[in-house]
């Protein structure tokens, strides 16, 4: 089974009007990323995988009108959690909605209840840097305590960001490791191998049985990707990597092809290879079973 544990919301429910098409070039270091897309675009790109997790990112309560991801093509009054649920309902056998909350929002527990009880959310996505909250704060720990009690896994954004207002220390794996120590039964995924801190990511996930990481948004920096994967192999830690794409920044098929192309890259550049069974293990790892998502 191929499970994409890291996909974002389509910006539009239906076809994107020509005058609303948006692209950007920062995320992929100069390569173009299509920021506007539809539910049909989403499921077209998800065809190579069996299951997907989908989520938005909750805005900062003091700037609630500023969405972290684009959602201009949806009806007014829907928030990111509604959109995750509605997109999942378009193909409920394939897609599992995750919620996103902000621990400094005074109403987060009400939204938590609505997401789990009404929207069918099975996990949560948090980007402490994007959301500008300290993951070691009392407010965050209060949320983590409830998530641990309820058995709900977290996908944390980890690593760098092009946003100038996103504190990097809030998304560093050595910061997040302190969360793992405080909540040893709280399952969590460190997104993007915590690039460019992949070595720190290895140090965290191999140490804590409740931590994994995902491989999203790596392949378009080929040497960095190969180097990180070789280090995970040498430290005996590729079994802690889950498959992910970071759609729409990249598509699942691009990530599958790049993982299977790692050894060609290594051979072409006279570098050490990575065992094919470990690569296939990443692609086919059953994240639903690992994270307890039914």
In terms of Cα–Cα distance, which of 10, 55, 83 is closest to 244? 55
Task: Decide if pLDDT at 30 tops 70.
Answer: no
Q: Are the C-beta atoms of 45 and 246 separated by less than 8 Å?
A: no
Q: What number of other Cβ atoms are within 10 A of residue 267's Cβ?
A: 11
**What whole-number distance in Å separates Cα of residue 141 and Cα of residue 162?**
27
Task: Decide if pLDDT at 154 tops 70.
Answer: yes
Radius of gyration of the chain (CA): 18
Render pLDDT for 172-212 as a digit per residue (tens, 0 to 9): 999 999 999 999 999 999 999 999 999 999 999 999 999 99
Question: What pLDDT, on a 0 to 100 scale, did the predictor assign at position 64?
Answer: 67
Render pLDDT for 70-90 as a digit per residue (tens, 0 to 9): 677 888 889 999 999 999 999
Q: Which one-letter DSSP state was computed for residue 115?
A: H
Q: Which of 50-64, 66-80, 97-111, 185-199 has the lowest mean pLDDT?
A: 66-80
Calculate mean pLDDT across residues 39-44.
96
Torsion angle in degrees (nearest 10) through CA of 96, 101, 103, 107: -120
Task: Decide if pLDDT at 67 tops 90.
Answer: no
DSSP state string for 51-93 = EEEEE--PPPGGGTT--SS--TBS-TT--HHHHHHHHHHTSTT
Render pLDDT for 215-259 as a digit per residue (tens, 0 to 9): 998 999 999 999 999 999 999 999 999 999 999 999 999 999 999
Q: Which one-letter DSSP state was computed for residue 162?
A: S
Question: What pLDDT, on a 0 to 100 scale, did the predictor assign at position 23?
Answer: 59
Question: What pLDDT, on a 0 to 100 scale, did the predictor assign at position 10?
Answer: 95
Task: Decide if pLDDT at 21 tops 70.
Answer: no
Residue written as token pair 């140490």: 207
Task: Decide if pLDDT at 11 tops 70.
Answer: yes
Torsion angle in degrees (nearest 10) through CA of 218, 224, 229, 232: -110
């Amino acid at each position: 089974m191929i499970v994409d544990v890291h996909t974002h919301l389509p910006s539009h429910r239906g076809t994107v009007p020509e005058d609303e098409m948006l692209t950007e070039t920062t995320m992929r270091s100069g390569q173009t990323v299509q920021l506007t897309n539809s539910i049909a675009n989403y499921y077209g790109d998800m065809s190579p995988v069996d299951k997907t997790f989908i989520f938005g990112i909750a805005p900062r309560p003091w700037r609630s009108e500023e969405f972290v991801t684009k959602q201009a093509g949806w009806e007014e009054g829907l928030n990111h959690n509604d959109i995750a649920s509605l997109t999942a309902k378009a193909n409920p056998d394939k897609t599992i909605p995750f919620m996103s909350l902000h621990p400094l929002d005074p109403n987060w527990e009400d939204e938590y209840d609505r997401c789990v009880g009404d929207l069918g959310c099975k996990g949560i996505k948090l980007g402490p840097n994007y959301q500008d909250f300290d993951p070691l704060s009392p407010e965050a720990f209060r949320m983590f305590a409830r998530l641990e009690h309820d058995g709900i896994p977290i996908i944390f954004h980890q690593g760098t960001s092009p946003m100038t207002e996103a504190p990097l220390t809030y998304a560093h794996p050595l910061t997040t490791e302190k969360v793992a120590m405080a909540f040893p039964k709280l399952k969590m995924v460190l997104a993007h191998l915590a690039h460019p801190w992949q070595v720190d990511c290895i140090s965290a996930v191999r140490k804590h049985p409740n931590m994994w990481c995902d491989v999203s948004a790596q392949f378009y920096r080929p040497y960095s990707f190969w180097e990180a994967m070789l280090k995970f192999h040498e430290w005996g830690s590729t079994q802690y990597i889950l498959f992910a794409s970071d759609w729409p920044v990249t598509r699942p098929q691009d990530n599958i092809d790049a993982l299977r192309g790692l050894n060609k890259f290594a051979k072409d550049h006279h570098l050490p290879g990575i065992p094919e069974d470990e690569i296939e293990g990443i692609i086919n790892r059953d994240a639903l079973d690992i994270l307890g998502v039914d």
